């Protein structure tokens, strides 16, 4: 495809992606994106009013960091780089980066459809308002560039709208776009890679069709579950996972007829029940600086889908979780239900009892541990994951490795201790043991903390970590430190948790980002010629970084997840 069109198309998609960080108000005189697309739309992403992006972003923590006076020396250099790129772009296509970023003046939507059959098509539409001059420049330049490529240009009148169709005569083999179609109407530009796809939009242009994504059962349910109190959300998005898979199989059949056999296995694996995934996002919503809602729509939990069963329970960090950690996650997993789902699936292919026989064989090898009887049967389903701040280092050695600790809740800690002790005594075991605070620590691997694993049974947990010091901190005794559950930061986040959840999360951005920021600041040429030494000390920006949290709750048709960050206290 012509280099100009690829670049312009990519820039417009970047505008769409960047716009996902603000709240927007839908134009009242134009149908929203979900009413302009068919029910069987595979992927959908929409923003209702792009111009509020900058306003909302500037008020966010990240916007405040960028506009902090101490960031100005570095941001001045960034602006110079942007100006250089903008000049190059303007010389090539006639408009600057600023012109492109300011092009959308209202709603912006992107979708993927299977239109026509056995072909994936992309549709992008946005309102450009009073930017007609910029649109005219882009379309004129595109016409000139495609003309040089000898693309065939034709038009088709549909009502009061003129479709412009460009058919590439000799498209590059790896170019997914063979056709470019667009029309403009009422200060809207609609672009697609297929004529049939853009006609689907035109058929619904008045917004009164009954065959729209807005009427899709899964889409409606997801959006209803993810609605916000203040009204229209900042962003809406939706994916039809099984639809994407089935469309991919259908298209593959054109060149690989055997691909159709894969579709027959989807119900057997249970993945055909994964009907939808979507959500919303917003800024400045109630107590939150930002909030995102998502929902997984599942019609049945058989086969592989049965692995993902997380019943609601009263969850909270246990006292052994220290307050200084960077992030914490706890999940309540129906591990026996997951095992049963996998066993049933395997046995359905290999015969009844096949899974049990395979596990018995594993138990006779290596450390002589039976995966089901010695491990799974002793786990209560509670899983705790802690992440602590990585050490400062050199960016040339790679990104910092976080210190991670995972704890699996136990039904019977004494039995698990016996299992580990027996495993350590088996021939060829590389487990080294030592006593600490009345319990045994098992260490495997090299002494380097990023390459070794430490294991212990303590606090009613089977704990595994790549940082022995973090493990020892949990074993020292609760009186020597503040527990996360008692910290002020956690209490602020936990205030919004439901009484029972399937999963909880807590994060401190400052703890997580400090090491990476300092490595970046001290690295040579880390950002393509930008002088990173001009970045202020981390303490100057950490004041803007907020704690965040989230939770997941089960639903009769799937599960809802909410993540949020609190507004900054001045």
**Contact at 8 Å (CB) between 153 and 169?**
no
User: Cα 504 to chain center, whole Å?
Assistant: 17
295 and 315 assigned to the same domain: no
199 and 243 assigned to the same domain: no
Q: In the predicted model, is pLDDT for residue 373 greater than 80?
A: yes
109 and 189 assigned to the same domain: yes
240 and 144 assigned to the same domain: no
Residue 568 lies in a domain: no
pLDDT of residue 174: 61
Q: Is the pTM of this model over 0.85?
A: yes
pLDDT of residue 568: 78
Residue 570 lies in a domain: no
State which residues form the domain around 27.
3-210
CA distance 61 to 334: 38
285 and 390 assigned to the same domain: no
> What token pair was written down for 67?
């506009």
CA distance 239 to 43: 5
Q: What is the pLDDT confidence band of residue 202, given thresholds at 50, 70 and 90?
A: very high
pLDDT of residue 94: 84
CA distance 320 to 332: 18
User: Cα 15 to chain center, whole Å?
Assistant: 18
From 210, 237, 267, give the residue that closes a domain.
210
192 and 254 assigned to the same domain: no
Residue 175 lies in a domain: yes
**Contact at 8 Å (CB) between 213 and 270?**
no
Residue 253 phi/psi, 5° resolution?
-60, -25
385 and 495 assigned to the same domain: yes
Measured CA to CA in angstroms, residue 199 lies from 20, 126, 255 at distances of 27, 16, 27
254 and 158 assigned to the same domain: no
Q: Percent of the chain, pLDDT > 90?
A: 50
Q: Compute how many other C-beta atoms are within 10 angstroms of the C-beta atom of residue 433.
A: 15
Over residues 353-366, mean pLDDT: 88
Residue 221 lies in a domain: yes
Residue 369 lies in a domain: no
pLDDT of residue 407: 96
539 and 447 assigned to the same domain: yes
pLDDT of residue 427: 78
pLDDT of residue 391: 65
**Contact at 8 Å (CB) between 326 and 511?**
yes
Residue 415 lies in a domain: yes
Three-state secondary-structure class, residue 260: helix
pLDDT of residue 147: 85
Residue 262 lies in a domain: yes
Q: Percent of the chain, pLDDT > 70?
A: 89
Nearest CA-CA partner of 561 in 329, 353, 293, 201 = 293
Q: In the predicted model, is pLDDT for residue 184 greater than 70?
A: yes
From 162, 180, 210, give the residue that closes a domain.
210
Residue 397 lies in a domain: yes
231 DSSP β-pair partners: 228
Q: In the predicted model, is pLDDT for residue 182 greater than 90?
A: yes
Q: In the predicted model, is pLDDT for residue 411 greater than 60?
A: yes
145 and 37 assigned to the same domain: yes
SS3 content of the chain, % helix, strand, coil (to 5): 40, 25, 35
58 and 148 assigned to the same domain: yes
> What token pair was written down for 289?
């600086």
Angle CA 421–424–427, to nearest 5:
135
CA distance 217 to 297: 10
Under 8 Å CB-to-CB from 33, ≥6 apart: which residues?
Answer: 44, 46, 107, 109, 111, 125, 213, 236
From 158, 188, 210, give the residue that closes a domain.
210
Q: In the predicted model, is pLDDT for residue 286 greater than 90?
A: no
323 and 231 assigned to the same domain: no
Over residues 522-536, mean pLDDT: 78
Question: pLDDT by residue (tens digit) across 33-75?
Answer: 999 999 999 999 998 887 876 777 788 888 889 989 999 999 9
Q: How far apart are the first and last CA of the chain?
A: 52
Only one residue has tokens 């049939």, namely: 196
Question: pLDDT by residue (tens digit) across 70-129?
Answer: 999 999 999 998 998 999 988 888 888 988 888 888 889 999 999 998 889 999 999 999
Handedness of CA 449, 451, 457, 458 (dihedral sign): positive
Q: How many domains does the chain have?
A: 3
């Amino acid at each position: 495809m012509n280099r100009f069109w690829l670049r312009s198309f990519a820039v417009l998609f970047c505008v769409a992606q960047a716009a996902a960080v603000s709240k927007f108000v839908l134009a009242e005189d134009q149908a929203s994106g979900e009413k302009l697309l068919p029910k069987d739309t595979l992927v959908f992403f929409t923003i209702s009013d792009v111009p509020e992006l900058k306003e909302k972003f500037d008020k966010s923590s990240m916007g405040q960091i960028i506009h902090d006076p101490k960031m100005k020396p570095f941001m001045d250099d960034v602006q110079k780089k942007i100006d250089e790129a903008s000049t190059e772009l303007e010389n090539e296509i006639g408009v600057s980066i600023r012109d492109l970023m300011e092009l959308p003046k209202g709603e912006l939507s992107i979708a993927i459809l299977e239109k026509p059959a056995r072909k994936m098509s992309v549709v992008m539409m946005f309102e450009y308002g009073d930017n007609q001059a910029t649109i005219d420049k882009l379309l004129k330049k595109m016409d000139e560039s495609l003309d040089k490529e000898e693309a065939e240009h034709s038009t088709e009148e549909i009502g009061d709208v003129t479709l412009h169709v460009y058919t590439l005569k000799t498209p590059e083999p790896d170019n997914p776009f063979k056709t470019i179609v667009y029309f403009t109407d009422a200060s809207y530009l609609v672009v697609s890679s297929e004529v049939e796809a853009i006609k689907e939009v035109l058929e619904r242009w008045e917004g009164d069709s009954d065959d729209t994504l807005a009427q899709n059962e899964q889409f409606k349910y997801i959006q209803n579950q993810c609605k916000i109190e203040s009204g229209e959300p900042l962003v809406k998005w939706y994916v039809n996972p099984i639809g994407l898979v089935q469309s991919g199989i259908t298209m593959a059949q054109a060149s690989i007829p055997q691909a159709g056999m894969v579709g027959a296995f989807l119900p057997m694996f249970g993945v055909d029940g994964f009907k939808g995934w979507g959500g919303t996002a917003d800024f400045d919503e109630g107590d939150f600086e930002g909030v995102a809602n998502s929902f997984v729509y599942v019609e049945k939990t058989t086969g592989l889908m049965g692995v993902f069963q997380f019943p609601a329970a009263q969850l909270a960090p246990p006292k052994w979780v220290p307050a200084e950690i960077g992030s914490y996650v706890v999940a309540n997993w129906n591990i026996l239900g997951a095992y049963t789902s996998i066993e049933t699936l395997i046995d359905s292919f290999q015969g009844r009892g096949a899974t049990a026989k395979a596990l018995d064989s594993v138990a006779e090898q290596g450390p002589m541990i039976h995966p089901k009887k010695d491990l799974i049967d002793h786990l209560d389903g509670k899983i705790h994951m802690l992440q602590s701040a990585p050490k400062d280092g050199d960016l040339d050695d790679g990104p910092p490795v976080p210190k991670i600790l995972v704890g699996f809740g136990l039904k019977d800690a004494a039995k698990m201790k016996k299992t580990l002790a027996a495993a350590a005594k088996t021939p060829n075991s590389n487990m080294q043991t030592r006593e600490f605070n009345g319990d045994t620590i098992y260490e495997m691997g090299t002494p380097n903390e990023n390459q070794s694993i430490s294991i212990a049974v303590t606090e009613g947990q089977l704990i595994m970590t790549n940082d022995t010091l973090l493990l020892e901190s949990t074993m020292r005794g609760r009186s020597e430190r503040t527990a996360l559950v008692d910290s002020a930061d956690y209490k602020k986040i936990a205030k919004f948790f439901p009484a029972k959840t399937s999963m909880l999360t807590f994060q401190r951005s400052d703890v997580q980002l400090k090491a990476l920021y300092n490595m970046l600041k001290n690295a040579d040429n880390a950002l393509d010629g930008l002088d990173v030494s001009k970045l202020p000390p981390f303490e100057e920006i950490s004041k803007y970084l907020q704690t965040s949290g989230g939770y997941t709750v089960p639903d009769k048709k799937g599960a809802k997840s909410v993540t949020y960050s609190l507004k900054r206290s001045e």
